[in-house]
Structure 1
Amino acid sequence: MTTQIEKNEKAEVTEYFNGTGFDRWNRIYSESDDVNKVQKNIRIGHQKTVDDVISWLKEYDNIKDKSFCDAGCGVGSLSIPLAKLGAKSIHLSDISEAMINETKSRAKEEGLDFNKLNFRTSDLENLKGSFNTVICLDVFIHYPQQEAEAMVKHLCELSDERLIVSFAPYTPLLALLKGIGQLFPGPSKTTRAYTLRESGIIEAAKQSGFKVVKSKLNQAPFYFSKLIEFVKS
């Protein structure tokens, strides 16, 4: 059962990414020069994660026959190149309507086939459907350990074949940096940021019948993300 604290925190995240957070992250996930050093490094780190996922997906020999769910799509950093690869269909969701609208705008600029794209404003908990592959990048930073593990199980329920997730991994060093405010400095701390124990994420997927097939740690100053691909056992 969702607690009042969790409801309040979700409301804060929603409000943030529909307001000042949208403006900030829209600049980060673009080619704008209107970013500071921290934001530029986050852009570089996130792009590494997206590039790795695209590289992994290119290994599929039948991607044009596959359906995808981009859970927490942001401004389409992953879905747009995925659509260009020829995916059969992509379900894009984000808790922020502003993010969804920006993704639609970017997809239109790229001339993508909207018949293959399904947009929805939604949090992870309310995602529904069945997809060959579910992908959730850099969203779990808004979830504490127990809730993140529950979300992994939920996303596994939506996936027929694969689940790809990324999250800020817990390490003693990152815990120290976060504690002294050097991991998520300045305005980046507008919403709570959680680091997660990798073992718990893997165990949650295992309990849902998924196993690890690939993993990679991407890092740039102020960006730390563990990327894991699971397949249904």
Structure 2
Amino acid sequence: MPADQLLNDKAAEKQAEKQEVKGYFETTGFDRWNRIYSESSDVNKVQRNIRIGHQKTVDNVLAWLQEQGNLGGRSFCDAGCGVGSLTLPLAQLGAGSIAASDLSEAMVKEAERRANESGIAPGRVSYLASDLESLSGRYETVVCLDVFIHYPQEPAEEMVRHLASMAEKHLIVSFAPYTPVLAVLKKIGQLFPGPSKTTRAYTLREKGIVQAAEKAGFVLKRRSLNKAPFYFSRLLAFEKA
């Protein structure tokens, strides 16, 4: 197969998968994940454990950021904000400005609704429905939590470099790390909650993610592994070298 044709086929496949993920989170996925990332009791055991695990990751990030000092005057990008699990508490802690984005317009609208309901002043957060590839701008800190489960290894590394190009000082990312246990879970389809698993779930090798950040001029400063049954998330914090 000619090289150009191979590239075109890969690009088409990537675009098709992106649309599949977007469609999922605009419909079935939105309802499911909106319930998971809430206080709703209408969740099963797996979904409840994912809620617990994700909250551990968010709490970890908030603790790390607060250790750096006053959040006022600092700019943040919450790339893949979902329904605002990180954006809302970050705003409530006094972050200077936050750009919150997500592939799903439904997720972005819900994040904005929750912010308004929480009394966060309009203008404190800017909202954008966008894929990660289309994001631009410069922020002191760029955070991307539990989004790379939709990216295979090489595209995930490319995305780390892209997000790093937007970060002036700090880059924080999380992903499902490759382990034999997660490889088994992936095969039996338990990385997504509920019977409708219309999107793929990828586990990533940490070494490749770290090397991608290093090539973009960042050094690894902190790492942790947050887990609950059916939830595994490696959290890495980088600083500009």
Could you say which TM-score interval applies, normalised by the shorter chain?
over 0.9
Tell me the TM-score normalized by structure 1.
0.97
Q: Among 4, 11, 23, which residue is 1:3 paired with?
A: 11
Contact residue 98 and residue 126 of structure 2 kept, 8 A = yes
Equivalent residue runs for 1:31-180 within 5 Å: 31-180=39-188
Aligned amino acid, residue 136 of structure 1:
C
* Deviation string, structure 1 residues 20-62 (Cα, Å, up to 9, x no partner): 1000000000000000011001000000000101111111223
Contact residue 191 and residue 201 of structure 2 kept, 8 A = no
SS in 1 for 2:137: coil
SS in 2 for 1:54: helix
Aligned amino acid, residue 36 of structure 1:
N
In the comparison of the two structures, how many residue pairs are matched? Answer: 233
* Deviation string, structure 1 residues 98-157 (Cα, Å, up to 9, x no partner): 001101110001110222211000000000100000000000000000000000000000
Partners in 2 of 1:182 and 1:81 — Cα distance? 29
Partners in 2 of 1:129 and 1:109 — Cα distance? 28
Tell me the TM-score normalized by structure 2.
0.94
Shift of 1:187: 2.7
- In the alignment, structure 2 segments of 5+ residues that lack a partner are 1-6
Partners in 2 of 1:192 and 1:10 — Cα distance? 10
Partners in 2 of 1:184 and 1:70 — Cα distance? 22
Q: Among 206, 209, 222, which residue is 2:214 paired with?
A: 206
CA separation of 1:186 and 1:85: change in aligned 2, threshold 3 A: closer
1:20 pairs with 2:10? no
Shift of 1:183: 4.3
Shift of 1:180: 3.4
Aligned amino acid, residue 206 of structure 2:
E
- In the alignment, structure 1 segments of 5+ residues that lack a partner are none
Aligned structure 1 segments of 4 or more residues deviating by more than 6 angstroms: none
Shift of 1:215: 0.4
Aligned amino acid, residue 71 of structure 2:
I
Aligned amino acid, residue 126 of structure 1:
S
Shift of 1:181: 3.5
Aligned amino acid, residue 195 of structure 1:
T
1:30 pairs with 2:38? yes
**Corresponding residue for residue 236 of structure 2:** 228
